[in-house]
Structure 1
Amino acid sequence: MKKTILTLTLLGGFAICFGQSIIGKYAESAIIAPDKVRNMMQNDVVITQDKSSSKKIWISNLIGKTTFYAVRNAANEDKEVYNIPPQNMAGYAVNIGCIVFDKEEQQISIALNNKSNCLGMSPLDYGNVSVGKGGIKAGGVKVGANGEISAGGTKTGKKGVSVNAKQALSGVQYVGSKK
């Protein structure tokens, strides 16, 4: 009896660990991309584990039938964050990219060439910190003395929220749900 309970407990823990993995097939929930790129997105996105590195994954079918890689940057019990190094996919040059996997929702968000969605992935994003009469500034984030906060093309203040849509929606934005 004790062996059965122990075995079931171990199998349950094993299933939970692997059930929350980013590895798998994803159906598109939402996409924002240039027409040329969006027209190539016809299949489900597939993510596989690299055979030699536990931190590296391969993403297929996001842009045409191309495959590119990403490297895990951080992970906790809720999310995994991956950095996409510069690569070329079917003629689309990627300079910056990131993937966020929400373990609870079983959903991925992929951003290519959108610095505001991948803010914080690079030490260069932080820059110098300055404090003065105008407020506090750290990298691309500014908190004004008047209470206005701005970061990544978005400003919040007394007049409400203002979004620079061109900056916020640049590049490729993909959201997919695990099948």
Structure 2
Amino acid sequence: MGLKTWLDHWPVYRQLTGTDPLGRGAASKSRRRAELTPRTATAERVVKSVCPYCAVGCGQNVYVDDGTVTQIEGDPDSPISRGRLCPKGAASEQLVNSPTRETKVRYRRPYGTEWEDLDLDTALDMIADRVIQTRRRTWQDTDEHGRYLNRTMGISHLGGATLDNEENYLIKKLYTALGAIQIENQARI
């Protein structure tokens, strides 16, 4: 390769000797750049979502192609995050597509040493049975002075900060209806 040929491939030389001395047009574009396409260009549709990691509620654009999430980016229309995501939010696509993500209900019996797979209906029935059994066993109608309590001290709830107000409201109503009085949220602790 001669000196002239080598210089022609050097971007600074092309910039200074060409028609773009400030390097804002053709001089700044390479052949490789011209062949690139955006990661989001192949998506069939864009779904609006909210980041699942904290209580801020940053808006996300979830790019879906053939039923698979291909990219997650900040939603510029979100008044909360205005298109920005923290490092965890920007990496949330890995949360969805990770090969180590559990997609089955895993259960380890009391004093067991091995995990077993359960179908979702069986797991939900087990949870419901345990809630009902605990509520019946720990229900308090009155205290020692005959005052009405109508509560259970055997069920409590500690909520996470990733839930929004509507979800927290519904959880509070559920646990109050069950008679639980120990209802707390991570955001207050």
> With structure 2 as the length reference, what TM-score do the two structures score?
0.24
More strand by share: 1
For the pair shown, the structure with the greater C-alpha radius of gyration is 2
More helix by share: 2
- Using CA pairs below 8 Å that are at least 6 residues apart, which structure has the higher relative contact order? 1
